[in-house]
Amino acid sequence: MPPRSNTAGPPRAFAAGDRPLTLAGAALLVALCATWGMNIAIIKFAGQSVPPLFVALARGIIAAPVMALYVKLRGERLFRGGRYLRHSLVLGVLFGLDFVFIYWGTVFTSASRAVILMYTQPMWVALGAHFLLPGDRLTARKAAGLLLAFAGMASVFVTNPGDLGPDHWIGDLMEVAGAVLWAGSTLYMKAATGHDDMTAGGMLFDQLFYSIPVLVVAAVVIEGGDPVTVTPMVAAAVLFQALVVASGSYLLYTRMVVRHAVSKVTAFTLLTPLFGVIAGHLINGDQLTWLVRLSLSLLTAGLYLVNVSGASAGVPGGEAQSIGA
């Protein structure tokens, strides 16, 4: 693929920022959701031997150079000043704080609960998009979907996890905070950077690179005295998060966000809890209570209502090549 020009004017990804979502794009988003769902269980698994914030830091340190190489191979600049730098710093801080809450929260709560609460993110995106992004307003059907999704989140909080300690609610709230920060980052990418020369790869590198100081401070202050035991399985888990999740999947997701209506893209992430709960049960032995199943059903129903709130599901097949990398 030829490198993008860094001349003035919005890049092509932003010029077509509301392209219709094709079947190929939908399939890609489902695959990303499966990857992210499994990743939450892997974070919990790795956190048994290495403090989770150090896992998040190691992931960023590995993934940032990978994205730097990708950006340079596309002929794009890595570091620029002015307004671009301000956007980069905001994205990096939001990204870092997001993962402080997501990773640290897994210390207190289960992977299954974490993935359900973390992926309430589309609700916050849809609400924010209504006020911040013209053309991405709430409709009656989308609002009904959001209410169902909120009900799904509420059903998690009333679940009594007998295998968790009394402080599980702290982890639950941390995962919700992570979801809100993730939504803020997504909306900022769409609203504040749409008229600047910022590409998907460049923004992902900015998030990874400028989040490292945030994660360093959090890891040292919160987990500085915790023991670290690196096993081959833990090392593989960190590499999976760095190369597959943080580099590959986040790049694809960022490209989708800047090319399509943001609420449409993020609505698919409500599928991630389905994969995450299954992975949490298989990898970590999380209990599948009836309330967990109810919350998943409500979230899935909310996803459907949010996603079909547009005018038409049919899109021309000729747009398929614009999906993904």
Residue 316: pLDDT band (50, 70, 90) is very low
For 244-280, b where at least 16 C-beta lie within 10 A, e where not — what string?
A: bbbbbbbbbbbbbbbbbbbbbbbbbbbbbbbbbbbbb
Mean pLDDT (whole number) for 85-108: 90
Please determine, for residue 162, whether its predicted confidence score (pLDDT) is greater than 50.
yes
Say how many residues make up the chain.
325
- Position 159 scores a pLDDT of 67
Q: Is 70's pLDDT higher than 50?
A: yes
Q: What percent of the chain has pLDDT over 70?
A: 78
pLDDT of residue 75: 85
Contact 324, 32 (CB under 8 A): no
- The neighbouring-strand residues paired with 19 are 260
Burial code of 180-217, b = ≥16 C-beta within 10 A, e = fewer?
bbbbbbbbbbbbbbbebbbbbbbbbbbbbbbbbebbbe
Q: What is the pLDDT of residues 277-302, one digit of tens each?
A: 777 767 766 666 666 677 777 777 77
Q: Of residues 308 and 93, which shows the higher confidence score? A: 93
How many helical (H) and strand (E) elements, i.e. helices and strands, does the chain have? 14, 0
Over residues 102-141, the pLDDT tens digits come to 999 888 888 778 888 887 787 788 788 888 777 777 778 7
Cα dihedral value 8, 12, 17, 22, nearest 10: -170
Q: pTM for the complete prediction?
A: 0.74
Note the pLDDT of residue 36: 85
* For residue 245, pLDDT beyond 70: yes
Least confident of 52-66, 122-136, 213-227: 122-136
More confident residue, 176 or 44: 176
